[in-house]
């Protein structure tokens, strides 16, 4: 026999199907049927997933039993071998999960079996370093600057010289920033064992709060189906 918690979760999950009974009494009947039908929590979990995949709406308890009997022997011994939902009266068999295996590449290939495609991918993945710009002679530089800039605003000789040095030198050779221009570095703080224990305690407290909130939602008769479904998924994730 399955646990009552597993049966309750199964009923709430089946409620995603259109036309699933909303009356508590009717849901109680479905709850009892699952308790009598399934022998383990794994079986009822399979039944819910399989039913949601096969049905577009809620059918009946008999049809639910027919899906179960297509794979398992019912715990109460009452078997149903004929279904009125499917055209041939037989519950469709489970399809094996598709397996995807990438074909092995031929020797020497890195990305594709097509030699041309492999060559293009390999060349595109190469890291190409940009060459440094060629150094200009003093005469070439001053001639280029004279053509593109108006230096009449720079009357100070030292200022013109400093600007020229900044423009013709590569970034690693630029003058260092003054102390007032640097960005202060935040001091390094070593993490202690107390810091780790405090963080673990905070996470454990947050986990307990989420579990308590999810349980309160499940116990709340005014909670919506979506809210209860989210609460169930929350408990499932936190209990894993």
Q: Give the tens place of pLDDT for each residue, 99-108.
A: 656 678 788 8
Which positions ≥6 away from 174 have C-beta within 8 Å? Answer: 166
Question: End-to-end alpha-carbon separation of the chain, Å?
Answer: 22
The answer to whether the pTM exceeds 0.75 is no
157-168 and 138-148 helices, crossing angle to 10°: 110
Q: Tell me which of 87 and 9 has the higher pLDDT.
A: 9
58-93 burial code (b ≥16 CB/10 A, e <16): bbebebbbbbbbbebebbeeeebeebebeeeeebee
pLDDT in tens, 186-228: 666 777 888 788 888 888 888 888 888 888 988 888 888 888 8
């Amino acid at each position: 026999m399955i646990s009552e918690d597993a049966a309750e979760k199964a009923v709430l999950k089946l409620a995603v199907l259109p036309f699933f009974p909303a009356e508590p009494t009717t849901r109680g009947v479905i709850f009892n049927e699952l308790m009598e039908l399934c022998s383990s929590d794994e079986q009822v979990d399979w039944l819910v997933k399989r039913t949601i995949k096969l049905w577009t709406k809620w059918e009946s308890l008999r049809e639910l039993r027919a899906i179960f009997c297509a794979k398992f022997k019912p715990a109460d011994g009452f078997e149903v071998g004929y279904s009125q939902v499917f055209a041939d009266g037989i519950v469709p068999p489970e399809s094996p999960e598709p397996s995807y295996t990438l074909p092995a590449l031929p020797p020497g290939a890195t990305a594709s079996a097509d030699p041309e495609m492999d060559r293009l991918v390999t060349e595109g993945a190469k890291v190409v370093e940009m060459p440094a710009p060629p150094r200009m002679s003093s005469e070439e530089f001053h001639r280029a600057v004279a053509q593109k800039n108006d230096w009449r605003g720079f009357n100070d000789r030292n200022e013109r010289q400093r600007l020229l040095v900044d423009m013709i030198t590569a970034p690693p050779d630029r003058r260092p920033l003054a102390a007032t221009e640097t960005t202060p570095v935040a001091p390094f703080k070593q993490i202690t064992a107390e810091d780790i224990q405090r963080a673990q305690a905070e996470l454990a407290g947050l986990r307990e709060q989420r579990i308590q909130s999810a349980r309160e939602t499940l116990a709340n008769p005014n909670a919506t189906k979506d809210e209860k479904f989210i609460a169930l998924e929350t408990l499932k994730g936190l209990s894993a």
